[in-house]
Amino acid sequence: MADAQDRRLPATDRKIRKARAEGQVARSRDLSHFAAIGMAVALMVAAAPQALAWLKTALASGLRFDAQVLAEADVMQQRLALVSLPALVMVLGIGLAMLVVALLSGVLSGGWNFSLQALRPKFEKIDPFAGLGRMVSGQQLVNTLKSCLLALILGTIGALYLRHNLPRFAEAIALPLPAAMGHAGSVVLGGLLLLVLALAIFAVVDVPLQRHQLAQTLKMSVQEMKQEQREVEGSAEVKSRQRSRMRELANRRMLAAVPGADLVVMNPTHFAVALKYQEGLMSAPKVVAKGMDLMALRIRDAAQGAKVPVLQAAPLARALYAHADLDKPVPAALFSAVAQVLAHVYQLRAHLQGRGAPPPPLPELKVPPELDPLHDMPGAAA
């Protein structure tokens, strides 16, 4: 494993996808805290008139003396249910809204990501030495300092607000109960808004900070980059074996097509090209197999085993090998030479079947010099 100091390269898309599959996503706790508490405060402000009216009714009902309550225990339970049920509905509603908003804020900061990797047991997590290393790491130190700073700021804001507004709380004592409840609620709301504002500032700072820390954690070394490239593209040995296997399969397909060819042109051993022509079905003869050196000898042996004529025509064989594609028609510049050898083979085949005279010697083939790769070399015509 490369040392952390060697990881200077940004993470590749493949490593980022792998990290997301393992549950490593930039999540901001401060953003979730701000969203949840901000939603709670917003719902409390919106529901304040209804909550205040309900609280007044509950207090009035609770402070009213009723002899029936003392006589029957069931009435006490009913009264308690009537008082607690609305409060429970309100608390559960606010809690559910806080949960939904906290989840949405996590998606907003790091995107939607579902992974079960975090639930898998990791025994290295209980290693005390590894845990000590994580405790003194730079990222953990930054998170600890940020949490301490947030707690200090929130505590300072709360203490200063209470100190400054303590006379206002004292004023509520002299007010009637309904007015005192509204007055105290307004004072508390002001303090909550200051706390939410502080959380919002921390969330704005924490979201890019978490993304930066994740990018730093996922950075790669040169060795890791090379290893990933080998994993994606495959090692040289594996690719060499794959290419060799593909060549062998292609050679087998070519050799299987040789028995169906009309003739094989050679020069005499270095190049071999098998040609096939079906009148009415093909516009021109096409190459069904070609090879050089050992493959040329294999094509020749396959042709001889299938009694396919093998013709020695060195310039034509070289030109066809160099310029004709497999399973494609021969180049137009070689039509004349290919037509001559095909006519010679057809006439020879008819003579052997007793249907004509033997063909005359094959004349010199007209192969354009520019198509013969060995034209300018001494002894190329041999």
Residues ≥6 apart with Cβ < 8 Å to 19:
11, 25, 214, 218
pLDDT digit string (tens) for 16-31? 888 877 777 877 888 8
CA proximity to 153, closest of 30, 40, 36: 30
Domain C-terminal end among 159, 186, 217:
217
Domain C-terminal end among 217, 249, 271:
217
Same domain, 267 and 182: no
378 within domain boundaries: no
49 within domain boundaries: yes
Strand-pair category, 263-266 with 310-312: parallel
Residues ≥6 apart with Cβ < 8 Å to 115:
20, 21, 22, 23
pLDDT digit string (tens) for 137-194? 666 787 788 888 888 998 999 899 888 888 887 887 888 877 777 778 788 888 888 9
Mean pLDDT of 117-122: 64
Tell me the residue range of the domain where 207 lies.
25-217
Same domain, 137 and 66: yes
293 pLDDT tier (thresholds 50, 70, 90): confident
Same domain, 268 and 174: no
pLDDT digit string (tens) for 319-359? 888 888 888 888 888 888 888 888 888 887 776 677 777 77
Same domain, 197 and 297: no
Tell me how many domains the chain contains.
2
Average of per-residue pLDDT values in the chain: 79
Same domain, 210 and 268: no
| pLDDT of amino acid 152 | 92
Same domain, 35 and 147: yes
Beta-carbon neighbour count of residue 203 at 10 Å? 20
Instruction: Answer whether residue 135 shows pLDDT above 80.
Output: no
133 pLDDT tier (thresholds 50, 70, 90): low
pTM of the model: 0.48
| pLDDT of amino acid 2 | 45
Query: 52-56 long-range CB contacts below 8 Å, 24 or more apart?
Result: 52/178, 52/181, 52/182, 52/185, 54/86, 55/181, 56/177, 56/178, 56/181
pLDDT digit string (tens) for 247-277? 888 888 888 888 888 888 888 778 899 988 8
Residue 9, SS3?
strand
Instruction: Answer whether residue 236 shows pLDDT above 70.
Output: no
Same domain, 99 and 48: yes
